[in-house]
Amino acid sequence: MDRVQLQQILVNLIRNGIEAMASTADLRMVSLHATRIDDMIRFAVSDWGAGVQNPDRIFEPFFTTKNDGMGMGLAICRSIVESHGGRLWAEKNAPQGSTFVFTLPIETNPTT
């Protein structure tokens, strides 16, 4: 995977997490975890925002929960991840917030 594409995915997910916490008075924290699982790497971006209300639809192009959103960020992220043999999904956190998780296969002979 191209470094710029990975950066685009991470920046989008982190920015979404920050924006999701804009209206909360509670703890505001975004975390990023990367874990190797067999021949995959798993990235998880978690926030303490309002949580995912439409987990089935948030990856659809032009679907947005933001007043000023275009609804393309998550659709593009999913497209990039899937084009590289990975998967992207969202989970609700307890007691609040969301975690966006994506997996990518580990390249054995990466090109630079």
Query: What are the per-10-residue average pLDDT scores of the chain (112 residues)?
Result: 94 94 84 97 95 87 81 94 97 92 87 60
Of 45, 17, 26, nearest to 102 by C-alpha is 45
Pick the CATH number of 3-105 from 3.30.70.100, 3.50.50.60, 3.40.50.10860, 3.30.565.10: 3.30.565.10
- The Cα diameter of the chain in Å comes to 46
Which parts of 2-50 fold into alpha helices (H)?
Answer: 3-20
Asked whether the beta carbons of 86 and 105 are under 8 A apart, the reply is yes
